[in-house]
């Protein structure tokens, strides 16, 4: 008889998907760092505007990908009790919300929560400071 907690079948699939995505966090973070270096190098050199827009969009996509992996790692660290699906009733979804809130207070989850906040801030700062479309002067 296996020891450990049982995970319901409707939660097992998204939990495993998050585990696979969380395992890719380091690779995605390295890719975002490489995309940022490429963008910064292009900004320091005389680079045509279309190429800068392309690099800016690539960096934004890399930040979004690493943010998704960090969010998945946070959910995995919270555990399967924090997962809610659309098929569950309202009481089960509310219990999952409460479990997620309690889990965010645990020391093991806190670094991932901080990392998600840091990445969201970096992505929003990037989106606000770099234009991807040329501006029109009237």
For the stretch 32-78, pLDDT in tens is 999 999 999 998 899 898 899 999 999 999 999 999 999 999 999 99
Give domain status of residue 18, yes or no. Answer: yes
Give domain status of residue 59, yes or no. Answer: yes
Average pLDDT along the chain: 89
Give domain status of residue 3, yes or no. Answer: no
Tally of domains within the chain: 1
Has residue 1 got a pLDDT over 50?
no
Mean pLDDT lowest among 9-13, 105-109, 116-120, 122-126: 9-13
Give domain status of residue 4, yes or no. Answer: no
Q: Which long-range contacts (CB under 8 A, 24 or more apart) does 6-15 make?
A: 7/80, 8/80, 10/85, 10/87, 10/88, 11/80, 11/83, 11/85, 12/80, 14/83, 14/85, 15/75, 15/76, 15/80, 15/83
Give domain status of residue 115, yes or no. Answer: yes
Nearest to 71, CA basis, from 121, 34, 117 = 117
Give domain status of residue 137, yes or no. Answer: no
Give domain status of residue 5, yes or no. Answer: no
Has residue 131 got a pLDDT over 50?
yes
Give the pLDDT confidence score for residue 7 in this predicted structure.
67
Residues of the domain holding 114: 11-131
Mean pLDDT of 11-20: 92
Give domain status of residue 39, yes or no. Answer: yes
């Amino acid at each position: 008889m296996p020891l450990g907690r049982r995970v319901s079948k409707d939660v097992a699939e998204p939990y495993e998907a998050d585990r696979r995505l969380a395992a890719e966090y380091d690779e995605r973070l390295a890719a975002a760092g490489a995309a940022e270096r490429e963008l910064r190098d292009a900004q320091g050199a005389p680079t045509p505007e279309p190429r800068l827009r392309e690099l800016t969009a690539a960096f934004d996509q890399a930040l979004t990908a690493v943010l998704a992996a960090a969010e998945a790692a946070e959910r995995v660290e919270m555990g399967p009790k924090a997962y809610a699906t659309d098929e569950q009733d309202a009481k089960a979804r509310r219990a999952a919300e409460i479990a997620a809130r309690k889990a965010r207070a645990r020391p093991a989850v806190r670094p991932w929560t901080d990392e998600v906040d840091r990445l969201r801030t970096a992505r929003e700062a990037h989106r606000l400071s770099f234009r991807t479309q040329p501006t029109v002067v009237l």
